[in-house]
Amino acid sequence: MLEQLRRDLEKLGNKEQAKILQGFFKTGKGEYGEGDIFLGIKVPVQRKVAKKYLDLLLVEVQGLLDSKIHDHRMVALFILVDKFKKAGEKERKEIFDFYLKNTRNINNWDLVDLSARDIIGEFLQDKDRRVIYELAKSNNLWEKRISIISTYAFIRKNDFKDTLKVSEILLKDNHDLIHKAVGWMLREVGKRNQDVEEEFLNKYHKEMPRTMLRYAIERFPDEKKRVYMRK
């Protein structure tokens, strides 16, 4: 079944699209996605393929996650997300643990953004969340991004405390991809409760990286944006 999945993806590849994606996801030497290989398959198509292979065992999913091909890893994560949604508590724990053991393979921002909330965040809704703080303090860029994006699951339930605490931890991170992720999650908090977001911004906006702040205030009226952007 795994080999058939690989063949299916190979057939769906688009070389021109792959070239565009390899530039967009910064796969050049010294860039954050260095060496990543794309087949050039669009996300909706990858999701559709994943749904055909939900019977894959985790050991087979591991084969996809270990691949150097980005599309393989993305489809593997879509399979895990779909499996998780349909699973009971025991299998959810297995998928959660499996995900955390594979953070080295969840190594680009789209891979994180389309999976962390729906597995890590959802699993931790009613559990101890200390793992999120361990990830936030990691030296690994993608683990840090997983930590903040996972809190999106809590935000959707109007639970903001972990987003704010993780944002504090990541406030002075030096990577643009963390600035964008934190700003995005703060903006999501603000969509639901702008007072909570502004309380955070009033405390920290002067020390926030500009990109983080711009993302956080994207939905604000222009005059309010100008106030926050003045440091």
226 in a structural domain: yes
Query: Two tokens at 208?
Result: 């926030």
pLDDT digits (tens, 9 = 90+) for 193-203: 999 999 999 99
pLDDT digits (tens, 9 = 90+) for 149-194: 999 999 999 999 999 999 999 999 999 999 999 999 999 999 999 9
At residue 230 the predicted structure's pLDDT band, cuts being 50, 70 and 90, is: confident
Residue-level pLDDT at 30: 87
- Among the residues of the chain, which ranges form H helices? 2-12, 15-24, 43-52, 58-65, 70-86, 89-101, 109-113, 116, 122-123, 130-136, 141-150, 152-155, 161-170, 176-192, 194-204, 210-216, 222-229
Say how far apart CA 212 and CA 186 lie, in whole Å. Answer: 9
Q: For the chain, what is the domain count?
A: 2
Query: Two tokens at 196?
Result: 């909570």
At residue 26 the predicted structure's pLDDT band, cuts being 50, 70 and 90, is: confident
Say how far apart CA 69 and CA 6 lie, in whole Å. Answer: 10
Give mean pLDDT, residues 40-46: 97
Give mean pLDDT, residues 91-95: 98
121 in a structural domain: no
> Same domain for 109 and 131?
no
73 in a structural domain: yes
Which of 5, 110, 17, 81 lies closest to 49, judged by CA?
5
pLDDT digits (tens, 9 = 90+) for 109-156: 999 999 999 999 999 999 999 999 999 999 999 999 999 999 999 999
> Same domain for 95 and 160?
no
Which of 70, 90, 114 terminates a domain? The answer is: 114
> Same domain for 99 and 132?
no
Say how far apart CA 34 and CA 53 lie, in whole Å. Answer: 29
Say how far apart CA 219 and CA 187 lie, in whole Å. Answer: 8
> Which amino acid, residue 120?
I
Say how far apart CA 18 and CA 37 lie, in whole Å. Answer: 8
pTM of model > 0.85: yes
Query: Two tokens at 79?
Result: 């399979």
